[in-house]
Structure 1
């Protein structure tokens, strides 16, 4: 039965843009439902979302719900959902409540998924116009976005590894160049500064840059190149790590920068919304008002002009690469769009995962994140202190948590991201659950991750680019991740198409689990936080990566302990 035909007896109405509820009072029949409700609302909190009135969280059109009526039906359904029921969400629209059981996910979400031959923007746009679909990006449509912090540490890990590979770890007196300071790109300035480097970025939308300035992710904004470069050179000479934004279109700004003798970045990347050639990237010569209007009245013209601009943009990036500057794609599919526009050598620019992140994925390491449903900053501080103590032998975790507590501004519910590997995610989850149980933390905690993780994505131009065995486009692993998390008892599970690279280019799974202090939560955490990172080890071991194979053989082969995964090595032909 359609949820639209179900009698909804609750009376509370929530408004997109308003903060999520805080504290111990429930609006639902249980903490799993309450967590889903609060995180949906947190995604659309005005402090967090790009455009909450349109239900857009980030990425141009990455939405949390399909329409305002759908949003209200979801929030009402979550309020009436029983503890042995699951709510099914089809591309941002609630379609049914089904009887399951207590350890089943309370919500199961599928966003933007199309059959292969029809998995393209044209067909998706047709369906979206008919009100039949929405684009869920990654954590937007799975209700676990925590603002720009969600990608800060991953960006930091990437930049840090790049400095180690190319400059023996020396970042002082160097700067990173990029463009795009929106939902994902907004992490870049702070991540660069945390490495000890400066950052110079271009942003077409002043409001986005000002949002980063307000949250202290960005230090300075300029309207002209000369002023920006003067400030940057001053910081570089003094050995200070500062971040600067120039307001303008990167296709106008970057060619002018290339002409300057003092423009010598040490690393170059890009995080414009190039994955979406109509609703993301802003073409050269367009004001924001013009592009908004033409996206509705003449989207094909916008797409044509976007591809022309992306071609110019990528040619500039190739010029920088040709000058010997490490230049990499940061997962926004700009290379594929440039190739579509006729730039045949676009893929000479390598992706960030095979260049810098894959060794972490082989260890089951990835973006563990959690949010405090109490809304109390004091609870986050207690969690940070406990995790510092738990991981006292991990230098990089010590450094990150100390810096994060000082520099990361809270957007919406207090939250933290922490890259953890197999085994360590479970330790952290059980510790947080125990703190809730003991009353050290005043309310349950939501634990999740980005979809950009070690074993949850099939994305040949990002997470699975250049796999050792050539299995870049094999999507079975992402599906198995979703299935395994459902079977393990995650609180809600999602499966999306497109993500940060666009329609036709990726399939990916997300999971969230609630630590409510109960014994049942402890058991679910043991299963989910063991299986989920183990999936990354299975995936990379099967592809032939020795690090993953060694971990699998040493820790998983033939194990019989409760909650331990089992690794069965694939028989490879000579």
Structure 2
């Protein structure tokens, strides 16, 4: 399939309402060649995270969205449209469920067999829920992680004078180099696919490429000595490069990895192979290929553990690298801490997470106007304002212009109302779609990432994402999704997402007040229930939801 998909731009509707139009445009935007990893095969990011199950299903979704009335709801079953029902104008226009498997059968082998038979689809997180915004979508999460690391580990407000070793410049990992330099650090990012290095340089996420490890180290040393941020791409295999650095006794300040190791089939290239030879190996000997992948991951993780023993600050960045190393026989893999309990949990506890909005007009000026309004409104929040200014200066849009911003409980609602007012006054030219990553405060159960080491041991309790989806649906979100397996792989996560379209109307204002209170508010409750004092303090101050009296008294 060589069909090039791009979202429509401008004020002209292709559907019967802006809710349906937003779903149409964001589905198409996920498959824009500027955005998607492999649009010909409907793959958006994260190994095989897809926007629709097949091209036939994609075209049927588009056709149904064009015919859908504003009191009907379209149902998507793992990337396939299965029907639309008369509901109400207050109900979501689309409900999406991806990759749900009865737990006893929720294994890689069973899932991918079902997927190969055309019965299901891996939706990752924002791929199958139609709110992926390109590499920018993970950028601030990586920025916030490194910012927190600098404060907690080095007692500094930046990574100035420090260097980071990581790997992976794919759809998610590609944010790493820019997040490092935004934090004023120096990074060496190992990538096995030279095309990805070139793409990140073109997109201004990566500064330069080194011809060898020695050149990368020289460039790193010079940048640190001059006190300037720099990101360096290095063609190679992470297992090989990390081990060579270990053997030389070179200890980075920070070490992590963001390859797609959660997908053992295609997400991690084994040592000794390039992309094309790995594909031949995979097709010719699938089991031998998996063994080679496990061996390489174990080798890399052994090097990371050595770095940790010798003073590096190391963390797993949620790609299931530790689990794969453990499956490969390295029992010590979980001595590497996960990034959420180490650095991000404090933000989740206060309802802060990866909030985002997309200009349905396609006009970058709409995003810049929102940027300026947020800077003006939140002038007192130095960290938030600093981020918006950095993003405005450094982020190159992919597909429809969008912005992401870690915003907490209360702030999201205020930003939503601000955007709706800008649309109403026509300072923003078209309605705006507001959403978030599934990787958020109260919308995910993922014991190897977001809910790792919860204070009360509730890591694997998956009621919360289901409650989140139900609550967002009845609160008035435009579409709602529930997925299985995104980020850390099949059997390891359940998570939910939503999108809310704001069109400048009173109805949109009321929906903002409900959805953007309920969605992060559930995150506050989830963490309060688990025993986090910062969450309980928000509740004690008085918030726009009710909390059980016995909890306030007994806890």
Aligned match for 1:332, one of 319, 324, 332? 319
Residues 240 and 300 in structure 2, CA contact (< 8 A), matched pair in contact too: no
Aligned match for 2:13, one of 26, 31, 34? 26
Residues 251 and 307 in structure 2, CA contact (< 8 A), matched pair in contact too: no
1:294: how far off? 4.1
What's 2:493 paired with? Answer: 506
SS at match of 2:499: strand
* Distance (whole Å) between structure 1 residues aligned to residue 65 and residue 265 of structure 2: 33
Residues 368 and 425 in structure 1, CA contact (< 8 A), matched pair in contact too: yes
Instruction: Name the Cα RMSD after superposition.
Output: 1.4
Query: Is 1:192 the equivalent of 2:172?
Result: no
1:256: how far off? 1.3
Distance 1:340 1:227, change over 3 A: same
What's 1:434 paired with? Answer: 421
Aligned match for 2:448, one of 461, 467, 470? 461
Structure 2-normalised TM-score? Answer: 0.97
Residues 362 and 536 in structure 1, CA contact (< 8 A), matched pair in contact too: yes
What's 1:233 paired with? Answer: 221
* Distance (whole Å) between structure 2 residues aligned to residue 384 and residue 414 of structure 1: 12
1:271: how far off? 0.4
* Distance (whole Å) between structure 2 residues aligned to residue 17 and residue 341 of structure 1: 40
1:300: how far off? 2.5
Aligned match for 1:444, one of 420, 431, 444? 431
What's 2:547 paired with? Answer: 567
Aligned match for 2:252, one of 246, 265, 288? 265
What's 1:473 paired with? Answer: 460
Aligned match for 1:362, one of 321, 345, 349? 349
* Distance (whole Å) between structure 2 residues aligned to residue 166 and residue 569 of structure 1: 38
Residues 251 and 311 in structure 2, CA contact (< 8 A), matched pair in contact too: no
1:251: how far off? 1.2
SS at match of 2:541: helix
Aligned match for 2:26, one of 5, 30, 39? 39
Aligned match for 1:248, one of 221, 236, 255? 236
Distance 1:182 1:569, change over 3 A: farther
1:116: how far off? 0.6
What's 2:120 paired with? Answer: 133
Query: Is 1:521 the equivalent of 2:501?
Result: no
* Distance (whole Å) between structure 2 residues aligned to residue 227 and residue 569 of structure 1: 62
The residue correspondences of 1:14-413 to structure 2 (distance < 5 A) are: 17-169=4-156, 170-260=158-248, 263-413=250-400
Distance 1:414 1:173, change over 3 A: same
Between 1:443-452 and 1:546-555, the stretch displaced more is: 546-555
* Distance (whole Å) between structure 2 residues aligned to residue 15 and residue 123 of structure 1: 30
1:301: how far off? 2.5
Aligned match for 2:478, one of 481, 491, 495? 491
* Distance (whole Å) between structure 2 residues aligned to residue 37 and residue 270 of structure 1: 34
Distance 1:297 1:25, change over 3 A: farther
1:549: how far off? 1.1
Aligned match for 1:420, one of 388, 395, 407? 407
1:380: how far off? 1.0
